[in-house]
Amino acid sequence: MYRSVLLVLLVACAPDGEATEGTHGGPGNQTTSEVFDTHACAHGELAMVVGTGITEYRPLDPGDEVMMVDGPQTGWHMDVAGLLVDAPEVVQVDVAVFDAEGQVWFGDQASSRIALVGWDDSACEGSFYGMRAMSVPQLDIDTVCALAGQPATVEVTVTDLFASNPSPVTEVLGITFELDPKDDDLCR
């Protein structure tokens, strides 16, 4: 009985034609080049404005403070966000935050592939937020207290995953490390 149902499902769901080499078995048996570079924003130039925010994108100006958050699992992170223009709906994001000497303190972890929030295909823009740049070394409170108020650089790289020849766009912004207010007493 189960074999008959399975056989009927396989036959019913089988494509109506064979896909040829270099094509996908989807609608119209598109070639690889037809799958890439066909979204509405494929021919614009990807641009980004770096920001911060946990629940929404908030743009940053040079020198703005970005909070180092003491997470629930005894680690530290910084929340990074971005507004993208001429972007597809899904992008790859890489983040690194380093001090004036070039020491990476946050980020530098595996890439994240994300769908943009509020993506508008007519305007080709959307945002992401709540991207956690985790502390690279395990930070103790003395190190975090020493970083607070110091200049830093956030570097965000975004890659258009739909481009046949993806070229990442990197934005770099000078910021200031800020201590989470709930940790003020720990640094006195």
Residue 15 domain flag = no
CA distance 157 to 52: 15
Q: How many independent structural domains does the chain possess?
A: 1
Mean pLDDT of the chain, nearest integer: 81
Q: List phi, psi (to 5°) of 55.
A: -110, -5
CATH value at residue 153: 2.60.40.2550
**Nearest alpha-carbon partner for 103 in 142, 139, 54:** 139
Whole-structure pTM value: 0.76
Reported as a single tens digit per residue, the pLDDT across 65-111 is 999 998 877 789 999 999 999 888 899 999 999 999 999 999 988 89
Residue type at 173 in one-letter notation: L
Answer whether residue 78 is part of any domain: yes
In a domain, 23, yes or no: no
